[in-house]
Structure 1
């Protein structure tokens, strides 16, 4: 499978007609049909139902169309970014981030970076902490903001801060009425919701390990894909969820209590390739220091 075949397939899938697709691609219809047939044989599935007029996508074909569009779009972005850098129109900085940083300092950092370095083309990519390490080593991102410490010698990680953790509870939960910080022990025997479900290890494993080390066994654990889903289930009364303090703004229909135990913190880690001394990374570090000096509310220093 190559990019040319993917482009052929996407064109046929869009036009629903081999003749029109061949005209769009400026090739004859027989080689176009043959390339789609090669894709079928390589994947071992039928991608298009040719017995219908217009041509119909099978379930496998719809999946390949969706993924192929993402791949081709990413390739085009990469090509355009490369052209811009080659023409010295701007520099590109690809930033990986975990979702919870969107509720803390990441938006402020992006705004300041755009004002401070308007020639810097910022690309944001949603990646879990473990995915960021691989992406950095493969060159798909330049820096990452994650939540898990690592020991990979090819990636340098700097802990920017240790963020307090809070328990998200429904307003009608008995524990929601107390104003004071909450001991972890109060969560014993409660149903807990953790995220992300995969890949592992992840923030979910960090939370489960913290409860285990504190000898706080949950009644049951439900694993979900993302923080928004987890907090939605809390609102529905399914269980409780431990999130970083800055994530309190995700939903206003929940009560958030700071966890009293000193180990109940989650690091925010800036990662980049070891030995990378590019000016953009230096600019990022300087801008982060400037933001922290302003003591914005999401830092929670007043909690």
Structure 2
């Protein structure tokens, strides 16, 4: 099996049409058809169902497509990093993160890693599900997220549980005392869109649903900064992790919740079964220290 077989297969799987796939690959259709047939013979299963109007992936084909994409992504990342390392003579260390964890001590970790002049630190803003995929594809070396993702190729470590607080328009009656979930449910809420798999939006909205409370969603936004801007504009409140309190925003008051033990995890994700190299060992040492600072209340 050659890499071209994987590239050809992915193109055909995305187009589900041999003619269009051949045009996309800038090759003639007959050699593409032969390559797909050779691939199916080598794998030992049919990857496509041939129909009069095109192709349909089999169950095996759907699985093979996911794996082929990861292999090609890994190769592309490896080639890119190799060129960068050769050019700069540096080791590349890539970190994935969700924005809400970057208001705590993660910047300190990045700063301390960057003291090593032989390291090039690359940051990728990714949702937790995207971090898992990026780890498997070799795009990142470690990820920091908020939700549990079950995957046999990725280890997830709970660093600590972080309280959830409410970001409320300054001067709003809700700022007179720590609001309850019931009180919050009576006000307009700014939320983040849900997507496939668990995410922060599911976690926060689930806090209300599990208590039998309905919420009045005023607006859905894609990023934290926009949400806080709408809060400052008196459009409603939003729920955020406690670290966000460090982001001082005019017109926004941060309030603890009356309800106890409402928190969201901070999770580190790494590739499973991989022996840590010197850079990862350094990152883990720094991370252990920063987590200890967090748990004991010693903030920088």
- TM-score tier after normalising by the smaller chain length: 0.5 to 0.7
Task: Give the structure 1 partner of residue 113 of structure 2.
Answer: 113
**Aligned in 2, Cα 1:287/1:82: closer, same or farther, shift over 3 Å?**
same
Deviations along 1:43-100, one digit per CA (max 9) or x if unpaired, are xxxxxxxxxxxxxxxxxxxxxxxxxxxxxxxx99975631354689322111111111
Separation of aligned partners in 2, 1:252 and 1:91: 40
Contact 1:198 1:225 in 2 (8 A): no
Task: Give the structure 1 partner of residue 143 of structure 2.
Answer: 144
**Aligned in 2, Cα 1:221/1:158: closer, same or farther, shift over 3 Å?**
farther
Task: Give the structure 2 partner of residue 171 of structure 1.
Answer: 170
Whether 2:204 is the aligned partner of 1:207: answer yes
SS for the counterpart of 1:133 is helix
Deviations along 1:168-203, one digit per CA (max 9) or x if unpaired, are 11112101122xx43222212221111245565421
Task: Give the structure 1 partner of residue 229 of structure 2.
Answer: 232
1:55-204 matches, within 5 Å, as: 79=79, 81-85=81-85, 89-115=89-115, 117-178=116-177, 181-196=178-193, 198=195, 201-204=198-201
**Aligned in 2, Cα 1:300/1:171: closer, same or farther, shift over 3 Å?**
farther
Q: CA deviation at 1:282?
A: 2.3
Contact 1:196 1:203 in 2 (8 A): no
Q: CA deviation at 1:215?
A: 2.4
Structure 2 gaps, min length 5: 1-22, 27-74
Separation of aligned partners in 2, 1:88 and 1:277: 25
Q: CA deviation at 1:218?
A: 1.2
Q: CA RMSD in A?
A: 3.0
Structure 1 gaps, min length 5: 1-37, 42-74
TM-score (normalised: structure 1): 0.67
Q: CA deviation at 1:228?
A: 0.7
Separation of aligned partners in 2, 1:259 and 1:153: 36
Separation of aligned partners in 2, 1:90 and 1:197: 38
Matched residues, number: 228
TM-score (normalised: structure 2): 0.67
Q: CA deviation at 1:300?
A: 6.5
Contact 1:96 1:141 in 2 (8 A): yes
SS for the counterpart of 2:92 is strand
Whether 2:241 is the aligned partner of 1:244: answer yes
Q: CA deviation at 1:275?
A: 0.9
Matching residue within 247, 250, 253 for 2:251: 253
Task: Give the structure 1 partner of residue 288 of structure 2.
Answer: 289
Contact 2:164 2:242 in 1 (8 A): yes
